[in-house]
Amino acid sequence: MTTTWLDLPAVPALPGLFARAALRRGVRGQTLPDLGLRCAISVDGKKLERYRQLCGFSDDGHLPPTYPHILAFPLQMQLLTDASFPFPLLGLVHLENRIRGVRPLGGMGPFIVSVHVENLQPHEKGAVFSLITRLEDQLGLLWEGDSRILCRAVKLGGQPAERSEEITLPLEDIAHWQAPADIGRRYAAVAGDYNPIHLSAVSAKLFGFPRAIAHGLWNKARTLAALGERVPAAGYVVDVRFQKPVLLPSAVTLQASNPASSGQFKLVGNNDVPHMSGSWRVI
């Protein structure tokens, strides 16, 4: 599928997009649009510092490896609420996430951020697709993200793709931290992601959760901050699979294999409840 790119003159405003998402109901088809969105975006230094503090990243002169998701979020929202996108945004589930760092994320921009969707496939619980995000500068690609997202309301023919391999390396505890009751609201204030399931117990219960849950990308960011130099500044791939949600408040433990050019990790809660598992490798 060839992507038809729309270059935006400015970053989309989120309030109208949230309203559009709230009003959207029902599946309108089973074909992903060929629309892609691009925009020149610069980093807000104050917001970046708040993000670093919230996720545990030190200021090493580079953007955190998960920060391009923050820059791209308004474009992602506009694309997933566009009339050509067939699935309602509310109810989509972020299952897996891959980031690939091609070159060091230095500087504050402006960068070209782009988003598009592709690779719609059957899943045992519905259908999954990839939301692809790219960050580029004048020299080309810096970073790429692939968010695999589930829509339960769609059933496709064919066999679901095989799952990626499970943890096979020995792991040891390397970090512990608290996920406080307000982390969903604090992360939303930085990331812009005000999904009700993250904000309070009252709003989360409307969607079937007993309490608010932590953002999956906060879990991943906090994990990468704790992994530190296991993941280099460039030339890496990090994959994660989101498992059971982190109910707020909670205490979690990060387990990881020994530092090497490739490795594995998992984030667990009380009684070894699996919240997230993943791997890194140098490319």
User: How much is the pLDDT for 164?
Assistant: 65
Pick among 1.10.3720.10, 2.60.120.10, 3.20.20.370, 3.10.129.10: CATH of 164-283: 3.10.129.10
Q: Do 1-160 and 164-283 show the same overall fold?
A: yes
User: How much is the pLDDT for 193?
Assistant: 95
User: How much is the pLDDT for 181?
Assistant: 97
User: How much is the pLDDT for 159?
Assistant: 75
Task: Output the 3-class SS for 34-70.
Answer: CEEEEEEECCCHHHHHHHHHHHCCCCCCECCCCHHHH
**Long-range contacts of range 56-63, CB-CB < 8 Å, 24 or more positions apart?**
56/177, 56/221, 56/222, 56/225, 56/226, 57/221, 57/224, 57/225, 58/225, 60/233, 61/106, 62/104, 62/105, 62/106, 62/233, 63/105, 63/106
Cβ density class 91-112: b for 16+ within 10 Å, e for less:
ebebbbbbbbbbebbeeeeebb
- Low-confidence stretches of the chain (pLDDT < 50) are none
Nearest to 62 by CA among 11, 115, 103, 99: 103
User: How much is the pLDDT for 234?
Assistant: 95
Domain ranges for the chain, please list them: 1-160, 164-283
CA distances from 148 to 23, 133, 142, 234 (A): 24, 11, 20, 22
User: How much is the pLDDT for 45?
Assistant: 96
Q: Is the pTM of this model over 0.75?
A: yes
Burial of 8 (0-12, 13-18, 19+ CB in 10 A): middle
CATH superfamily assigned to domain 1-160: Hotdog Thioesterase (3.10.129.10)
CA dihedral 98, 104, 109, 113 (to 10 degrees): -20
User: How much is the pLDDT for 165?
Assistant: 65
User: How much is the pLDDT for 166?
Assistant: 81
Question: End-to-end alpha-carbon separation of the chain, Å?
Answer: 27
Q: For residues 160 and 119, what is the distance between their CA atoms, to the nearest angstrom? A: 12
